[in-house]
Amino acid sequence: MNIGWNVETFISILSLALSLTLTILIIKIDWKKYGFLYLLSSIIGVILCYIFIYLGFYIFPYRLFPQISQIPFTAILTIFPLYVLIGVRYSPKSWSWKIPFYWALVHTGMFFESWVEHSTQLIKYYSPWDTWDSYTWWWIYLLVFEWVGGLIISQELRKPIDQELLRYGKLGWFILHFILISTTFLAGVYLQTTLLQSK
């Protein structure tokens, strides 16, 4: 087991504990259906991750269990499926509001992934893979499982956010725009600064 007094260990353990806690809270609503969705999204996440590693797109230099796997399975088996569960459980009914909802989820995930890629040894990209590729695959993964989740999880087991809360002037509207604007500009400025420093 690879544990030390470093930011990688702290992030790995904190994200594992937080994602497991939130996952259990959602799965206990219906163990069979949400559990199956969790298991399915975990398996697909691991398969995709191994494919991308095999193709040389990225590596995970620091892992809690480096002898067991090339991927940080503690993260891949918890964080990404948690995103799926949150999306399926809480995404608004109308696609005109699902897209901004997922947009905020993807931007939040990508903001942290970009920071981790540039500031830690948890993940490192190799050309031709870059932030845009990760961003695209976040969208593909979450939207495919929004559709799959709709087949597995019945409407009475979902709790879609009231789209009225997302309309202009409402709290949800401000939260969505804060996430989108802050992640776009802060991440953009941060990445640009990092790229300039590396030249």
User: What is the Cα–Cα distance from 61 to 70, expressed in whole angstroms?
Assistant: 9
Give me the pLDDT at residue 189, please: 64
Residue 82's closest CA among 134, 131, 17? 17
- How many Cα atoms sit within 13 Å of 137 on the Cβ side? 15
Amino acid at 30: D
Q: Give per-10-residue mean pLDDT for the chain (199 aa).
A: 80 91 95 96 94 94 85 87 96 90 91 88 91 92 95 94 85 85 72 58
Give me the pLDDT at residue 66, please: 82
Q: Map residue 70 onto helix, strand or coil.
A: coil
- How many Cα atoms sit within 13 Å of 106 on the Cβ side? 20
Tokens 């996430």 correspond to 179
* pTM for the whole structure: 0.86
Give me the pLDDT at residue 198, please: 56
Query: Tokens standing for 14?
Result: 């904190």
Give me the pLDDT at residue 6, please: 85
